[in-house]
């Protein structure tokens, strides 16, 4: 008999090697979360519970296809790959994605499978990046993806979508590291799952999960 989701808690040896997979839409998300992982490893990896680990606790990948519904499908299809949690990180692009959250919430899985979660930004992931530097009130004009990207470029001139390579700008976690706590606090105060003009994000939820894996190694 199949059981309901266990919210990341696993019996026996599985819990000793809890692992998180972050599936993002593209290079911007991959570069940010790769840098975030390195940041938490540096902050918590010396002298703490995770000083020596046999298993890397967090993995970051670009989803095979970038449509939100296909990222969710991939996350659900990969539940049996040995992860404790899988996070689907994607944008709304201005569309209502409530049904995708419901799909994940209503999907049942066994105790041996990963729990699947979402971390969503409306309209784009760049809202999360902006909150590292600006107050929520400064985001009122970010109704479309291009508005958000333009404001981020104005705020962080060295930023560009994607990976920095061959002297070209890209997404560098160092540009956002100093505002991480600010972004987490502000994101927690945005109104998620509202699809009017005001932007929001709950990416702080996956950030909190990543940090817990580096401080304790277990969720």
For 74-114, what is each residue's pLDDT tens digit?
999 999 999 999 999 999 999 999 999 999 999 987 888 99
Helices 68-77 + 98-106 axis angle, to 10: 10
Average pLDDT over residues 188-209: 93
Q: Which residue has the higher pLDDT, 169 or 1?
A: 169
pLDDT more than 90, % of the chain: 70
Residue with tokens 């003009």, as numbered in its chain: 197
Distance CA 157, CA 217 (A): 36
pTM of the model as a whole: 0.86
DSSP helix/strand/coil, 20: strand
pLDDT tens, 39-55? 999 998 744 444 444 46
């Amino acid at each position: 008999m199949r059981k309901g989701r266990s919210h990341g808690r696993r019996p026996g040896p599985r819990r000793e090697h809890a692992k998180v997979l972050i599936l993002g839409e593209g290079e911007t998300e991959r570069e940010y979360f790769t840098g975030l992982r390195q940041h938490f490893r540096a902050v918590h990896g010396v002298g703490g519970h995770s000083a020596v680990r046999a298993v890397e606790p967090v993995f970051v990948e670009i989803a095979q296809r970038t449509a939100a519904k296909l990222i969710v499908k991939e996350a659900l299809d990969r539940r049996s790959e040995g992860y404790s949690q899988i996070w689907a990180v994607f944008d709304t692009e201005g569309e209502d994605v409530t049904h995708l959250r419901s799909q994940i919430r209503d999907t049942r899985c066994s105790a041996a499978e990963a729990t699947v979660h979402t971390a969503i930004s409306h309209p784009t992931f760049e809202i999360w990046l902006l909150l590292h530097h600006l107050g929520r009130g400064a985001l009122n004009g970010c109704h479309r993806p291009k508005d958000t990207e333009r404001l981020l470029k104005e705020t962080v001139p060295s930023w560009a979508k994607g990976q920095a390579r061959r002297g070209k700008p890209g997404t560098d976690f160092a540009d956002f590291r100093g505002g991480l706590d600010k972004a987490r606090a502000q994101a927690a105060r945005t109104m998620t799952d509202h699809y009017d003009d005001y932007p929001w994000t709950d990416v702080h939820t996956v950030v909190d999960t990543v940090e817990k894996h580096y401080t304790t190694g277990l969720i």
